[in-house]
Amino acid sequence: MSSNLANNLVETARQLGDRPAIRLDETTLNYSEFHRAAAAVAGDLHSRGIRSGDRVGIVLPNVPAFPIIFYGILMAGAVAVPINPMLKDREITYYLEDSGMALIYGSRSRGELVAKAALAKKIPALLVDDRGPSDADLTGNPINEPVERSRDDTAVLLYTSGTTGSPKGAELTHENMSTNASTTAETLIRTGPNDVILGCLPLFHVFGLTCGLNAAVKSGALLTLIPKFDAESALRVLIRDEVTVLEGVPTMYSAMLNSPDADSAELSHLRCCIVGGAPMPVEVLKAFERKFECEIYEGYGLSETAPIACFNQPGYPRKAGTIGIPVRGCTLRLVDDDDNEIVGCDEAGEIQIRGENVMKGYWARPAATAEAISDGWFRTGDIATRDSDGYYSIVDRKKDIIIRGGYNVYPREVEEVLYEHPAVAEAAVIGIKHTHLGEQIGAAVSLKRGEQVEPSEIIEFVRARLAAYKYPRQIWFVPSLPKGPTGKILRRQVEPPAVVSQQLT
């Protein structure tokens, strides 16, 4: 039997075809319409020569076109490659090259960079309206039943960066995605056809893709979309659509809590909230729960684990400030620096994960895969403790990573661009604590001898080359950067001047 993730859409359309599936303001698709639109995309892809295993990119915000094209790609047997629409052309070009993409979708109204990158690499770029491809865009006959795929075939290539600075494609299989969506829908948010999930998490991100879109499709719930999050829009849609399930990162909860519209927002229909992507401040959690009379469940996951691995779960005690206990089908352990398992309580160690949700590996990177996965255990690089009840708490990150407003920013990627500036000799990018965003991007820069430049010029240089959430908001100059015995820059020893940390916005 085929294990294609798209079988969930076909089955839900058969059973609940008249139920609303996707909404964006005045546009609503029911499950039958959703299925027909995805089947038409699949047929069009086949008419263009796309076959099983071919990589197809999606550079779209949270609009109906995204889920239609995503499931169309899967129904065609191809591999979906979601890409952040905030990226610049050089970043998109990297994904095209690394994945060996055969075709890419972009927005008709915002697709200039997609078209430019695709033209340079001589692959087709299909620009579509927010509602999805029109009949004029499509050729071929619809593929109503998904092309057969096995449980270990790659469904999604999801790019995640690392200490090397170059993003790596995590190969998430049909089993990875299917089981994690089922676990989310059945055990974490317990969704059904009468539920409405707020789609404010980006669908190009694994949190929004699995816990929002795929969990909704699995359970027949309605996913109501917000193309770009802001607190006022979120509260408006929460009220208008009587949303029952809210999913977000901590900055989203904080923004809604502090919105001028919060006091007048009546959210009695909101029954379940989940949060991930970054540590949730306990005071924000408690204040949100008090104001809106709801419960927030904190959890933890990674792109490489499809993503949910550990969660505070309904039916179990909630412990604020923890990431909960392992989810169904997933095992966690803590290890010391010598890879010995830590069995005692309250001792810090690296989280390792094994289970049905762990990726196949990194695309075309066997060495990186071998380094990340040993005997089936994925090394997360996150340091945690475990209490006597089995609840885990994150205490540090072993990997160099900054989480700004729920988005992962990898210092090396930003540093690579800083080094392209002709005046920069050395650079170290660090995260600086920020009240609303969790962390902000800062950079210590050492200039080449005889060079003079303003920090603002370097900021604008990086801003023009990286997505908006990645570039440093503050840069300060230093004579030299701290180094170890081998000459390696010791990023963790870099400290921002007090005046800089106070100026961050």
Q: Is the dihedral of CA 363, 414, 112, 136 positive or negative?
A: positive
DSSP one-letter code for 146 = P
Instruction: Of 163, 236, 261, 202, give the one whose Cα is nearest residue 405.
Output: 202
pLDDT one-digit tens code per residue, 308-351: 999 999 999 999 889 999 999 999 999 998 999 999 999 989 99
Q: Where are the alpha helices (DSSP H) in 86-214?
A: 89-99, 112-121, 174-183, 206-207
Q: pTM for the complete prediction?
A: 0.86
| Distance in angstroms (rounded) separating the CA atoms of residues 210 and 201 | 10
Residue 484 has pLDDT above 90, yes or no: no
Residue 434 in domain: yes
pLDDT higher at 501 or 31: 31
In a domain, 464, yes or no: yes
Amino acid at 132: G
User: What is the pLDDT at residue 499?
Assistant: 67
List pLDDT tens digits, range 199-236: 999 999 999 999 999 999 999 999 999 999 999 999 99
Examine residue 495 and state whether it is found in any structural domain, yes or no: yes
Whether 359 is in a domain gets the answer: no
Average pLDDT, the chain: 93
Taking only the tens place, the pLDDT of each residue in 296-307 is 999 999 999 999
> What is the structure's pLDDT at 407?
87
Higher pLDDT, residue 237 or 413: 237
User: In this structure, what CATH number is given to the domain that contains residue 449?
Assistant: 3.30.300.30
CB 268 within 8 A of CB 294: no
Residue 428 maps to a domain: yes
In a domain, 16, yes or no: no
- At residue 164, the pLDDT reads 52
- Asked if the model's pLDDT at residue 504 lies above 50, the reply is no
> Within a domain: residue 352?
no
Which residues have a Cβ under 8 Å from the Cβ of 443 and sit 6 or more positions away? 414, 415, 418, 427, 428, 429, 430, 458, 472, 474, 475, 476
How many domains, in total, are found in the chain?
1
Is 258 part of any domain?
Answer: no
Range of the domain at 412: 402-500
